[in-house]
Structure 1
């Protein structure tokens, strides 16, 4: 009888580490998987259906030369220093002037996204989350885009959606 009690007690001790490994493994695998797969789905459910990737939204032009808006949906990245544990989902809009601004930016969507992701992913969560610093980030992004696309005429950078998790 005492051997049965010892066997039961011993098996409970052996099961506990397995349960802990399972829980820790689930958190380590489930967290990043949920961030990568679930975050864009949550963002779309909150903001409504997104247009096709790289699809531009143009505002009506005033007298044929007013501002045009080019929008990039679902810009997803990991801020600096987060080791993949945090992420940013943003919708980035560029305001420019000219009849072909939206078409030009649409044609160079991959290049525009590269500049945006590179600059924003170099920022820490503290820099991105602080609303007081957001204007400085927009100006820095505008400068980086103007340097990359000098003829585009980018007048402003807007963040219609900016969610940090």
Structure 2
């Protein structure tokens, strides 16, 4: 009987090692499968989004019309206009359309005015201004907000929104 008990104890030990081995093998297989899925499916999608802004580069400006290679020289130069007063509306927290509240954008918007009286009006109505800005930006998806090609149209929509205020 003592031999049978000893044999049973020895036979029980290998299944424990096998179960640990299967657990480790399963974890490694899961990690490897997850990494492969990420590399095959997610990497191309992320790569497309990262590569998109680089393809819309502006053409460099040339000064060939002046007949000079890079500047210098005299000539009639217009003076730069007075920059005016800049009013900053900062810390706008926007939940983009289609994100279901899972993503947000923290935006700062600056307005340049020519006179200080207009800046005072903007300061007095800043809450209405914030509401209009949040309304326009909240209607855009994350893809639209991050696309540099649409920047000018978004600026035009923001300008139209503040004109109403």
**Taking structure 1 as the reference length, what is the TM-score of the superposition?**
0.49
**Richer in helix (by share):** 2
Computing the radius of gyration from Cα coordinates, the structure with the larger value is 2
**Taking structure 2 as the reference length, what is the TM-score of the superposition?**
0.49
* Higher relative contact order (Cα pairs below 8 Å, separated by 6+ residues): 1
**Richer in strand (by share):** 1
